[in-house]
Amino acid sequence: MPRGRNVGYSLTAWWGVDLHAAAISSLANVTQTLRVLRRNRARLPLLLVLLALLALVLSGCTTDTPQNTFDTKGEVADAQAKSFLIAMWPAIVIMIGVLGGIVLIALRWRERDPNQPPPKQVHGNTRLEIAWTIAPAVLLLAIGVPMVAQIADLGREPADDAYIINVVGQRYSWLFEYPEEIDSEGKPIQTVNEAHIPVGREVSFQLRSVDVIHSFWVPKLGGKRDVFPCNLVTPEPEAPPTPHGERPPCDGGQMNILWLKADEPGSFSGQCAEYCGLEHARMTMTIHADAQADFDAWVKEKLAGSSGGGN
Amino acid sequence: MATVTVPKRSALAEALAGARHAADTGHGVLSWIATVDHKRIGMLYGISAFLLFLVGGLEALLIRTQLIVPESGVLTSDQYNRLFTMHGVTMVFMVVMPLSAAFFNLLVPLMIGARDVAFPRLNAFSYWSFLGGAIFLNASFFTRDIFSGELGAPDAGWFGYAPLSLPDFTPGHGMDFYALGLQIMGLSSLAGGLNFAVTILNMRAPGMTLFRMPVFVWMTLVTSFLIIFAMPVIAVALFELTFDRLFNANFFNTEAGGNPILWQHMFWLFGHPEVYILILPAFGIISEILPTFSRKPLFGYPFVVFSGIAIGFMSWGVWVHHMYTTGLGTIANSAFGISTILIGVPTGIKIFNWMGTMFGGVIRLRVPMMFAIGAVATFTIGGLSGITHSMVPSDYQQQDSYYVVAHFHYVLFGGAIFALFGGIFYWAPKFTARMFNETLGHVQFWLMMIGFNLTFFPMHISGLLGMPRRIYTYSDGMGWDLWNLMSSIGAFTIAASILVFIANYVYTFVMKRGREAGDDPWDARTLEWSLPSPVPHYNFAEIPQVHSLDDFWHRKYREDAEGNVLPVVAGGAVEVAHGGDGGGHEEAGHGIHLPSPSYFPLIAALGLPVMATGLIYDYAIVPVGAALLVVGLYGWALEPATEED
Amino acid sequence: MAHAATGHLETSTGLDNRKLLMWFFLASDCLFFGSFIAAYLLYRDRSLVGPYPEDLFDIPFTSVSAFVLLMSSVSMVLALAAIQRGNVRGMRIWLFTTAMLGTLFIAGQAYEFTEFYHEGLTLSTNLFGTTFFVLTGFHGAHVTIGVLILLSLFVYSLRGGIQQKDSLNVELAGLYWHFVDIVWIVIFTLIYLVQP
Amino acid sequence: MTLADYRRQRGEPLFDEQAAAVQHEEHHPNAFQYLQIGIILFVITAIEVGIYYIDMSHDLLVGLLLALSIAKFSLVVLWFMHLRFDSPVFRTLFAVGLGATLALFTVVIAVSHGGLV
Ligand code: HEA
Ligand code: HEA
Ligand code: CUA
Ligand SMILES: [Cu+2]
């Protein structure tokens, strides 16, 4: 019984393919493919559809919508949008390369005639393999290194003069507490689902939940941070405004701290981003960033008014 | 080669032996229920998984109907939450995993030249416990008054984050069903993983060295390893949840100092390897289809294999990328960010080698090839959005937004489901001897491709526009309306494509209008095509001697030093492959001792959901289930694997 | 426990299917117990209310039961050595001894659990109760299953079911048994002896 | 599986059908050796419990206890479970399981809230 050549595993065999020939022939093939495509006007609509889609996408990104992560209004959100783009542009280039490559190859080497004999049997090419191992690795590390720097940047503790706001997440509302603004009864002022923050100053949100996990997210100011259950070991009233960076101990869970900074005044909407039950969809909030004077005025008004109560 | 015959048989044993004999005829329902034949088990897996795909898809359609416009009231939030939880759980554990298992079962023994898997009855047990678990979990829908719209299904999301998953926050039995149902299906997968790992290492035909195995077999092996090491972790997490829910334990009880992050670690420590468990079989399928339809060997075979192994290995070091926003700290996020990013390298190797395979081939754009190419293309998009996720600062904005939903549907639907459909079209002729209708197949492909992109591409945008996932409604003015509308239209387009597939199935197999396939309709490369279609129950009349990678191709074609192809003298090799000529089959079949059918795996598997039901509703039922399990296991152990005749 | 007869008398690796299966399973079980032990360690010292481990642990008692389990490993391996030499009677004796030592261990654990319970520790008292009972409980379940397997082999051998050529059955049971034993070695050290 | 590749490079057959010949069944220790191991195990346990009652620095105690239990563990695994004599496949499998367990859960504990990092 006749048998084919044994092409079992042998590393040296993979070096056997002549790289030069392969390279030259592939170059020739690509040019030929392009020529085929140019001749074939039928593909034009496809291209147009793709372009239209791209236009749609781009228009989507510039629409002024309340939670647009690209319509950034603070340095944290800025940095994060930048981080996305650092990954997105290479990704788009690779996507076009790979998808385009697949389509071109499939069209160029399509079977023309059912009796076409099998093509030349190419088993591989080690140099190519090494190339397409190293190149992506280098590219990925190139975006990975700035990423680490950014993580450290965003992960640093809030500045010393950061304005502290305690955030208590509960199904399905947000309670904001201003430990730096104590009213006549010795209680910090509180608001529900709406918070005021000063513009241009870092705000340290100290996040904890009294039930399940929520996630604090105000897209225009910055990415989210999860709000974990945390029963403060020291009961609340006595808990002094926490020194920056040091999380007060809690039983179970932990308190997370997220610092954000608004660059311009405005009202920014946010929403709970961790599924927390029936009304997760409606656990929304608005953060009003006020110029310092307006903010002070708001605080004064709150302190003068009856302690507690909404906004 | 039974070792011992138990001296006296009780009446029960007699009856069982009788039933076993009845099952041995190869016809009728009994023969399917008691089957230990890997091909039949594979088909059972496939059919069950496809039906569950319709269930999960129906759930998705309800989700998309609810989200079609802002503030719609089609579903209540309670219904919505249960539907998306069950949608995720169904698609992951009851569709993609069992569909992959279907292909393992159908193909692995044939591809390595074996008559069955190493443990045929364990294999049957895997199937029945999967089915039992799936029915059990879906039965939860009916535990409340479903006709007045109250669904009883689990409602804490597919990853069931604690403490939401505790009875204080998700009362009712839904999450009990989740914990116990997944436990049963996990056991089923573990049994399957063990079985296939042993099968692949131990049951290869002479000459079938590891590096002559088809890539699909390799990917099955890697997947089996992942299953073997990942399943115990989720088993423990689910046990902990079960104890918390049913016996008031404190694993995740924050009041007692419990730490919810523990659940997240355990879930994702399992969960990330799990997503590669879902995709690697699909990679294997792609790696079989592309060479056949390009009429070239797989480009860089050892690199494709090693990159698969590398992916399996690296998948253990990236789980924290699901937890970037939990505040684990700069060091953890940086380390896991880098490791996650780097997983793009071995995946890229696969993509490039697939392109290399097609490059310079003679590409037949038949239906399986279309699905395989489609899978590569859409998976690439999903993988690249995965890279944007792995950028930690950028993920702070994307985590738990629709951008994630877009990412994982691109890899899961675009990668896995497309490839699995390709596999169905590719291998169906082997097991049914009929070809699916080609035109309907192409219609399905294009509908699915368009519908898929229409559904999931806009989710990238709605996600970046700040739309969180798992919200049952949204207000207008958020700028999400258009994108959701597109997604919903797309979802129904996908549904149409699935209907086309069902129509194709009916046309081909029910109306029997499908073309006769013949033994080797695609001019394929691997051993299973050397067998007659449908494959005889003993698979190989004579265990083949394997001489090379793509052995079957080399029986048909010769290759000169430059790689030019010369056909082998027509027919010769193929006939030998059948183990003789036509008449030989029947005779050959007689001398072969195959494992006899057995009811015990079914009985043992049945015990599991019964026990689980007992745990939830009435402890008195637990011993009944336990008894079934024990009887099943003892019967199984004592019954000779092969009945002597 | 008959051989799976699938037409392959010899396997590709030369290793027996069932033995390979057992080792895969044991490797997998490492992660099973590892998960529970990790939960215990993560929660050690985090219980909000007592009783705490140092209030309850009775080291001499647990040392004895750890010792019992350890010695059962010795008798197990002796059972294997016996059947490999064709000494069925010896095997029976050692199998039975092993099963009894295992039962003794379980009895000790039952005693320990009730003792703890009387001192106020339940599954829901605190984190210690939860993690301790579940971890050692799952280990106990493993031992119980092991005892059942050993007794089944014992009974089977009485009916002549195990001869020298079937020594693999004993070897497999042994692998499982030893594994359960080494898990206890780890638990005994990490949970009982090493206190923060 | 990297092991296979390694064997291949060294020209060893273990993953092939020829390997059936390379079986180590014969090297099992005998009953006497098992008993010796048993005695060592007994002694180690006794030492463990003994030092538990000796007054010494906590770190030293923990170190000693860990070392002794690793010794016990290894004795059982290598001798009673025959990993010393049996096929390297088993050894590799078990090492992978054990190594994965150690590595993964060390990281889990390290990066949990209130963990080491
Ligand atoms: C089949 C399943 C599958 C697969 C294969 C992947 C593959 C990847 N996934 Fe995905 N993922 C999921 C299923 C999957 N994922 C699921 C289900 C979730 C959500 C769970 C939930 O929350 O419900 C998720 C979530 C998820 C997250 C968390 C998002 C969040 O919640 O915040 C992240 C973060 O890093 C991530 C990353 C990646 C990466 C980097 C890959 C990589 O493996 C991708 C690698 C592939 C490529 C990169 C493309 C091909 C490569 C090239 C063409 C080479 C050149 C490329 C470069 C140089 C970039 N995934
Ligand atoms: C393999 C995995 C897989 C697959 C294939 C799919 C397929 C689909 N998914 Fe799913 N999805 C997940 C895995 C998957 N999904 C996971 C893991 C989640 C996360 C869950 C969570 O957050 O907990 C999720 C979440 C998820 C969401 C987010 C919900 C939310 O966060 O609020 C959405 C929203 O649109 C969605 C949509 C869809 C759609 C439209 C399809 C479609 O492609 C489905 C197409 C199939 C059909 C349309 C079936 C055809 C049916 C018929 C033709 C009817 C005929 C019926 C009979 C004859 C009875 N999915
Ligand atoms: Cu709170 Cu979602
Ligand atoms: Cu992941």
Q: Please report the pLDDT score of residue B592 as a whole number.
A: 73
pLDDT mean across residues, chain A: 80
* pLDDT recorded at residue A249: 73
Nearest-angstrom CA–CA distance, B245 and A126: 55
How does pLDDT run across D4-27, given as a tens digit for each residue?
444 445 555 444 434 443 444 456
Residue C10 CB neighbours (<10 A): 13
Instruction: List the pLDDT tens digit at each of the 311 positions of chain A.
Output: 333 333 332 222 222 233 333 333 444 454 554 555 555 555 555 666 666 666 666 555 555 789 999 989 999 999 999 999 999 999 999 999 999 999 999 999 999 888 888 898 888 899 999 999 999 999 999 999 999 999 998 988 888 889 999 999 999 999 999 988 888 888 889 999 999 999 999 999 999 999 999 999 999 999 999 999 987 776 554 555 555 556 677 777 788 999 999 999 999 999 999 999 999 999 999 999 999 999 999 999 988 875 444 44
Burial class (CB in 10 A: 0-12, 13-18, 19+), B365: middle
**Do residues B383 and B389 make contact, with C-beta atoms less than 8 angstroms apart?**
no
Q: SS in 3 state form for chain A?
A: CCCCCCCCCCHHHHHCCCHHHHHHHHHHHHHHHHHHHHHCHHHHHHHHHHHHHHHHHHHHHHCCCCCCCCCCCCHHHHHHHHHHHHHHHHHHHHHHHHHHHHHHHHHHCECCCCCCCCCCCCCCCHHHHHHHHHHHHHHHHHHHHHHHHHHHHHHCCCCCCCEEEEEEEECCEEEEEEEEEECCCCCEEEEECEEEEECCCCEEEEEEECCCCEEEEECCCEEEEEECECEECCCHHHCCCCCCCCCCCEECCCCEEEEECCCCCEEEEEECCCCCCCCHHHCEEEEEEECHHHHHHHHHHHHHCCCCCCC
Q: Which helix (H) or strand (E) holds B622?
A: helix B621-638
Q: What residues of B are annotated to the active site? A: 87, 116, 158, 188-189, 272, 274, 276, 287, 321-322, 347, 350, 469
> B285 and B198 in contact (C-beta within 8 Å)?
no
Nearest-Cα distance to chain B for A237, in Å, is 20
* Structure tokens given for D48: 């463990």
Ligand 4 ion: residues within 5 Å (CB)? B 272
Pairing verdict, β A203-209 and A163-170: parallel
pLDDT at D58: 83
Return the DSSP state at B468.
B
Q: Residue B15: CB partners within 8 Å, gap ≥ 6?
A: none
> B57: Cβ below 6 Å to ligand 2?
yes
Distance in angstroms between the alpha carbons of the first and the last residue of chain A: 89
Query: What pTM was estimated for this model as a whole?
Result: 0.91
C10 touches chain B (CB under 8 A): no
- B206 part of contact set with chain D, CB < 8 Å: yes
Alpha helices in B296-366 (DSSP H): 301-314, 330-342, 344-358
**Positions of chain C with pLDDT lower than 50, given as ranges:** 1-8
Contacts of B95 (CB under 8 A, 6+ apart): B49, B52, B53, B56
At residue B632, the pLDDT reads 94
Quick check: CB of A280 below 6 Å from ligand 3?
Answer: yes
- Antiparallel, parallel or unpaired: β A250-251 and B557-559: unpaired
Question: Is D111–B229 a contact, with Cβ atoms under 8 angstroms apart?
Answer: no
Block residue for tokens 């149902």: B181
Residues 6+ apart with CB under 8 A from D5: none
Rounded to the nearest 5°, which phi and psi values hold at B558? -110, 155
Please check whether residue B152 is in contact with residue B173, taking contact to mean a CB–CB distance below 8 angstroms.
yes
Measured between CB atoms, does D58 come within 8 Å of chain A? no
Q: Which helix (H) or strand (E) holds B557?
A: strand B557-559
Structure confidence at residue A251 (pLDDT) = 75
Q: How many residues does chain C have?
A: 196
- Distance from Cα A281 to the centre of ligand 3, integer Å: 7
Task: Please tell me the distance from the alpha carbon of residue D80 to that of residue C75, in angstroms, as a whole number.
Answer: 10
CA C195, CA C190: separation in Å to the nearest integer?
A: 8
Residue B97 CA to ligand 2 centre (angstroms): 15
CA dihedral B488, B490, B491, B497 (to 10 degrees): 150
Q: Are B6 and B638 in contact (CB under 8 A)?
A: yes
pLDDT attached to residue B9? 56
By the 8 A CB rule, do B552 and B601 touch? no
Cα R_g (chain D), whole angstroms: 19
Residue of D15, D89, D117 with shortest CB distance to B210: D15
Got the DSSP string for B414-450? Answer: IIIIHHHHHHHHHHHHHHHSEEPPHHHHHHHHHHHHH
Q: Do residues C59 and C193 touch, judged by C-beta distance below 8 A?
A: yes
Phi then psi for residue A195, to 5 deg, are: -135, 150
Contact D113 A9 (CB under 8 A): no
Q: How high is the pLDDT of residue B640?
A: 76
User: How many Å is the Cα radius of gyration of chain B?
Assistant: 25
- Residue ranges for chain B with pLDDT beneath 70: 1-10, 12-13, 16, 22, 25-26, 569-591, 642-645
- C-alpha angle with apex B67: B58 to B446, nearest 5 degrees? 55
Give the pLDDT confidence score for residue A117 in this predicted structure.
86
The predicted complex's ipTM stands at: 0.90
User: Which of helix, strand or coil describes residue B391?
Assistant: coil
CA-CA-CA-CA torsion sign (C62, C68, C72, C78):
positive
- pLDDT at position B589: 53
Q: What's residue A103's pLDDT?
A: 95
Q: Which residues pair with B435 in a beta bridge?
A: B515
Please give the number of the atom of ligand 1 that sits closest to the Cα of B415: 1
